[in-house]
């Protein structure tokens, strides 16, 4: 696989993983907010906080993997054009 093939694959993966970051991040944000409100004593609804805490901890592992994958593909999308521009045009490409 050459550098010109890496960029489109990184972009596709990056776009799909973005939805994972949004969905998992939303759960992390909501459960973190609930845990914070419980800690401050401001929670006015009856929720089993052991359930929320358990799922916050479980989802955080997947969120970390998805976020790292998005960061790596973003780094590839940023770096590959810079590397290709330093090399100059290859023999088989037309400008």
- In tens, the pLDDT along 7-37 reads 889 999 999 999 999 999 999 999 999 888 8
Q: What's the rounded Cα separation, in Å, for the pair 17 and 40? A: 34
- What ranges do the domains of the chain cover? 13-86
pLDDT average, residue stretch 59-84: 91
| pLDDT reported for residue 90 | 61
**pLDDT for the residue 6:** 85
What's the mean pLDDT in 42-71?
Answer: 89
DSSP letter at 41 equals T
Q: Whole-prediction pTM value?
A: 0.75
10 with 77: CB under 8 angstroms? yes
Say whether pLDDT at 92 is over 60: no
């Amino acid at each position: 696989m050459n550098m010109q093939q890496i960029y489109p694959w990184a972009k596709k993966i990056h776009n799909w993983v973005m939805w994972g970051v949004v969905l998992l991040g939303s759960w992390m944000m909501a459960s973190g907010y609930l845990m914070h409100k419980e800690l401050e004593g401001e929670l006015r609804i009856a929720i089993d906080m052991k359930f929320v805490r358990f799922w916050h901890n479980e989802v955080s592992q997947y969120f970390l993997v998805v976020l790292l994958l998005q960061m790596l593909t973003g780094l590839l999308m940023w770096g590959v054009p810079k590397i290709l521009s330093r090399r100059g045009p290859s023999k088989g490409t037309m400008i």
